[in-house]
Structure 1
Amino acid sequence: MAFGLIIIGDEILSGKRSDKHLPKVIELLGERGLQLAWAEIVGDDPARITATLRRTLAGPDVVFSCGGIGATPDDHTRQCAAAALGVPLELHQEGKLLVQERIRETAREAGREADLESPDNLQRLKMAEFPAGSRLIPNPYNRIPGFTIAHHHFVPGFPVMAWPMIAWVLDNLYADQFHREARAERALLVYEQPESLLTPLMEMLETRYPGIRVFSLPSVGDAQTRRHIELGVKGEPEQVAAAFDEMQAELDRIAAEYTLV
């Protein structure tokens, strides 16, 4: 099972805000023995959001989408998800009650009674309009829910809401996937060597050990260390151990200088 992430919002692409969802989703998945397979950032363009969701809904991946599910004119995700699925938006009755309870709570905090029929409060009910057939994702921060449909899970852009909602989805819908695959990773730093010299070694290891992937992360160096390549293997633990031993043996053979990470 592969997991993907869509981050929606012009503010990320313009640089007004820095994305925090990607590292947190990687962390949430990693804590459960899972991995993120891909991530995309999409601006507040309805046509582009719809096309992205139409493509991902046609695939098998579990997808989290962060952002754009509010009730302001620049929030398009709910409408785009419905369009991508070819279904109408519907006012979710349980979602309506949750939004109304939040309206009452906000009014009480301000020392007044809520008028549920006022134009602004009727507008807020749009936050409970979801594609037909959606299920709710509880929001522990303010009770305004997200929604799940098919294998896609839509949460707000606010980290304080989105992250516990993603954790809830994982723990309640995908617990059977946790820690199903044992994984290992080992790496070392190879100093003052060109990647072209190490490429044949990397190709040979991936051919010989199909359960692993080899990676190289070059660095030009800094005040603490000189030019190097972080060279490593990750994947099935037994194959990682064997491939790493073979990697070290080859580096010793060519007299390359390296240190373990």
Structure 2
Amino acid sequence: MAEFQLFIIGDEILSGRRQDQHFPVMLQKLKARGHKLAGARYLPDHRPTLVEAFRLTLAARQKVISCGGIGGTPDDHTRQALAEALELPLVPQPEALRIIETKFGDAAYPHRARMAEFPQGAELVPNPVNQIAGCSIREHYLLPGFPEMAWPMADWLLDTYYPAEEPPVTRSIISPNAKEGDLIDAMEALTQRWPDVAFSSLPSFGNNRHPGLHIEFSVTGTPEATEAAMHFLQEALAQHGLAWSNS
């Protein structure tokens, strides 16, 4: 299972002028392939902020899918920021430049050709919509902010570099009238016994899943481990006189 950070870049998102669409779609793309979204950040079109964000993920050897800020206008800083974080020059990528020259001819210069400039040594992530590519370097993937371009490009990079794995299994139950404070020992025992199973406890005073006080418990992992952890949890609830139902 590969784990990814998602960067969603753009002042228009942070100001509310546009609503983000990337998070739920990228999350689903990763989950469908058995991969994990380990974190997400909304970042401004501010080069020092982006440089620092990329330095952190590069130092941690994380995988990053970044959406936005790779155009050629003065408010686009993502390509330049990644190059600075890598301590590499920003140079024309030969294939990217060829695509732009073929598409625009003489009109590729002086401005459109800038969109072919990536950190030295970057490979391309093809764009099936308008052919203006993104890039790949050190498991950092720069995609445009336009969803209709970024999403098929994400499909390509995931299918090319990260073979799909069997998605983890999630089981969830709701226990009415359960209180977290009464069940801490059981929850700690579960997480210690099955450290590779993701566990969550979501208390609520009532929602569309159950109208009254309850806790929704979830466990996620391999089928065998998930089944064992859930059975353990159900027995613990029964020992406390609590009922449960599948959510």
Q: Quote the RMSD (CA, aligned, Å).
A: 1.7
Tell which deviates more after alignment, 42-51 or 55-64.
55-64
Looking at structure 2, the residues matched to 242 and 141 of structure 1 have their Cα atoms a distance apart, in angstroms, of: 46
1:1-261 matches, cutoff 5 A: 1-103=2-104, 115-116=106-107, 121-175=109-163, 178-179=164-165, 183-222=168-207, 225-261=211-247
1:244 offset after TM fit, Å? Answer: 0.9
Residues in 2 aligned to 1:173 and 1:184: alpha-carbon distance in whole angstroms: 23
Task: Specify the SS of the correspondent of 1:166.
Answer: helix
Larger Rg: 1
**Distance in 2, Cα, partners of 1:232 & 1:222:** 17
Q: Is the deviation greater in 8-17 or in 158-167?
A: 8-17
Deviation for aligned residue 1:200: 1.9
CA-to-aligned-CA distance 1:84-133 (integer Å, 9 cap, x gap): 111111112221121233325xxxxxxxxxx437xxx4211111111111
Contact 1:220–1:226 under 8 Å retained in 2 = yes
SS of aligned partner of 2:70: coil
Deviations 1:15-34 (A, max 9, x none): 22221111111111112111
| CA displacement at 1:182 relative to structure 2 | 6.0
Deviation string, structure 1 residues 204-233 (Cα, Å, up to 9, x no partner): 111122232221112221466223211121
Structure 1 residue 202 displacement after superposition: 0.9
TM-score, length-scaled by structure 1: 0.88
1:217 and 1:17 map into 2 onto residues whose CA distance is: 30
In the alignment, what sits opposite 1:109? none
Q: Is the 8 A contact 2:178 2:242 kept in 1?
A: yes
Contact 2:32/2:167 (8 A) holds in 1: no
Note if contact 1:102-1:142 (Cα within 8 Å) is conserved in structure 2: no
State the one-letter code of the partner of 2:227: A
CA distance in 2, matches of 1:6, 1:182: 23
Equivalent AA in structure 1 for residue 240 of structure 2 = I
Partner SS for 1:122: coil
1:11 Cα offset (Å):
1.5
Contact 2:176 2:215 in 1 (8 A): yes
Hey, what's the Cα distance between the residues in 2 that align with 1:33 and 1:257?
32
Runs of 4+ in 1 over 4 A off after TM superposition: none
For structure 2, the 5+ residue unaligned runs are none
Query: What SS does structure 1 have at the residue aligned with 2:111?
Result: helix
Contact 1:182 1:237 in 2 (8 A): no
What is the count of residue pairs matched by the alignment?
Answer: 245
CA–CA distance in 2 between the matches of 1:63 and 1:174? 13
TM-score by length of 2: 0.93
